[in-house]
Amino acid sequence: MHNFSDSVNVNVAILTISDTRIEENDRSGQQIRESLLLKNHSIVDYKMSKDDLQSIQEIVKKWSVDPEIQAIILNGGTGFSPRDVTYEAVSSLLNKKMDGFGELFRSLSYEEIGPKAMFSRSIAGSIDSTAIYALPGSTNAVKLAMEKLILPTMPHFVEELVKK
């Protein structure tokens, strides 16, 4: 049994990946922000990026070495369209992959949307001591991932990453 506090506040950076959205209509990014703030987590940074592998990686790399940022949540670009490169950008940077995250997310999504859930390439893991989550751009998918997977476990994940 692990001892950890679910009330630990986590410093988070949010990255929305989209070729079409702007900050004013980034409902998924807003959903992430609202979910985090309701649980008293801190938003350290928020950015938007086009569906561009190099741009996504540059932002994630910069944030992953920032000692103030403990977790990064990306949304968008996890599907199968030719422009969707978030999975490739993130998976190649991870030191450790959390296979169960994608599996559970797709399982929970299946309950809501049926077999189309298998088209999600959501992924989570870590880059050194930073937790990384990549979610679809759908607001409903973001809400599901935040409520059922990320918020209940993120403080524990962050604590595990800084253990000596």
- pLDDT by residue (tens digit) across 26-78? 999 999 999 999 999 999 999 999 999 999 999 999 999 999 999 999 999 99
Task: Read off the pLDDT band of 164 (50, 70, 90).
Answer: confident
Domain boundaries, the chain: 11-161
Reported as a single tens digit per residue, the pLDDT across 103-112 is 999 999 999 9
For the domain covering 11-161, report its CATH number.
3.40.980.10
pLDDT at site 8: 83
Q: What is the pTM of this model?
A: 0.95
Cβ distance 76 to 90 under 8 Å?
A: no
